[in-house]
Amino acid sequence: QNTGDEILKVDSVLMQFGGLKALNNVDLSIKRGTIHGLIGPNGSGKSTMMNVLTGIYIPTAGNVLYAGESVVGKTSSDIALSGIARTFQNVQLFGEMTAIQNILVGLHHTFKSNMVEIALNLPRYKKESQEAYARAMALLKFVGLEDFANEEARNLPYGKQRSLEIARALALDPELLLLDEPAAGLTAPDIKELLRIIRKIRDSGITFILIEHHMDVVMSVCDTVSVLDFGQKIAEGKPAEVQADEKVIHAYLGT
């Protein structure tokens, strides 16, 4: 199916938790190769949207089309394998594993070896392991972590843990990368490094949905921004337009 420029379409999504409409008939259209910002006050439904897009929640109504095909009802792992990778609002690494092991976990899905080949370390498994190791090192290098490969994830500075999560998401070789508040808790130099990494990934052709609170981050990298408030989309457009929008200002001021 030819979906043209549109990689992801969110069509009238309703996500209800009891009486609460965490998402209330939200539409989104994400264009291939762009960075699409998703902003809004706390509790406005941003993370819920991520969870709907990645199969953690099944929407009460509405549809999500990825490359023209509905993802609703698919498992999270099937959605990930089909090309949508993510990071979480709270860092979710294997703390006691090294940085490179955290990435290797994400690469195992590419292995074709069977259990016997793995158990006996037969040639195909040996070759696949070596290739995975090389690829994991390349991903660490890509995010500037090549010197931290053998550090336990929990011992990395917080900013580097964030970078490691992004590298792990990239191990899935995604077309679409969802980042949930990647700049939260980062220092100014860390944010600069994050922006460098995001731009580098964008330049490699990957599309982003970026949930972010830091307006300077949103303003500097997003092509389009959608604004949620109480589960509804209240504004959409170029970052500067959205920032000047009365409804958006009111939503953030809570008036």
Enumerate binding residues for ligand ADP (CB under 6 A).
Answer: 17, 20, 22, 40, 42-48
- Rounded to an integer, what distance in angstroms lies between the CA atom of residue 236 and that of residue 238? 7
Nearest distance in Å: CB 20, ligand ADP:
6
Structural tokens at position 194:
């994050």
Kindly tell me which of 56 and 97 has the beta carbon lying closer to ligand ADP. 56
Pairing of strands 20-31, 6-17: antiparallel
Using the contact rule CB under 5 A, the part of the chain among 56-64, 81-89, 103-111, 154-162 near Mg ion is 81-89
Using the contact rule CB under 5 A, the part of the chain among 39-47, 54-62, 78-86, 145-153 near Mg ion is 39-47
Nearest distance in Å: CB 227, ligand ADP:
11
Work out which of 44, 47, 163, 224 binds Mg ion, going by CB under 5 A: 47
Within 8 A by CB and 6+ apart from 3, the residues are 9, 65, 67, 68
Nearest to 224 by CA among 64, 54, 39: 39
Nearest distance in Å: CB 192, ligand ADP:
24
Dihedral class, residue 146 (left if φ above 0, else alpha if ψ from -120 to 50, else beta)? alpha
Kindly tell me which of 30 and 38 has the beta carbon lying closer to ligand ADP. 38
- Rounded to an integer, what distance in angstroms lies between the CA atom of residue 10 and that of residue 163? 28
Q: Which residues bind Mg ion (CB under 5 A)?
A: 46-47, 89
